[in-house]
Amino acid sequence: MWTGTLLEYVPIGMLLLIGLGIGGVALLAPALLAPKRPSRRKHLPYESGMLPIGPAQRRFPVKFYLTALLFILFDIEIIFFYPWALQVRALRTLALVEMGLFVLVLLIGYVYAWRKGAFEWER
């Protein structure tokens, strides 16, 4: 009934089931074991033992999100560079041309962000 190729996936399936089981226990155990004593103080945000001043939620300027997106963009660039740098001699000229095009596209994006003022913190 079981073929040889399906038997190779049994350890992966067992690992998946064990991982799901541990995750399920980690989610359910606090709900079942934690004491349930509601109080008004539990709904207050805690900050250094002091009562909160002002509203708990406020909007952050878009520049924070833009900075995070640019960081992720250029961080991913480095992730793509690493395997290429390890295999550049084996891949020859075609890989060099492809990476050059990749860098060109990223450079165009960098210049665009620079001209739009994405790197200027104060305007």
For the domain spanning 4-115, the CATH number is: 1.20.58
Residue 47: per-residue pLDDT: 66
Structural domain spans, the chain: 4-115
What CA–CA distance (Å, rounded) separates 99 from 93? Answer: 10
Is pLDDT of 51 > 70?
A: no
Residue-level pLDDT at 117: 83
- Reference 95, options 78, 105, 110, 80; nearest CA is 80
CA–CA dist 32, 68 (Å, integer): 38
**pTM for the full model?**
0.48
pLDDT digits (tens, 9 = 90+) for 60-110: 777 788 888 888 888 888 888 888 888 888 888 888 898 899 999 989 988
Helices (H), the chain: 4-7, 10-33, 62-115
Q: Is the pLDDT of residue 20 over 90?
A: yes
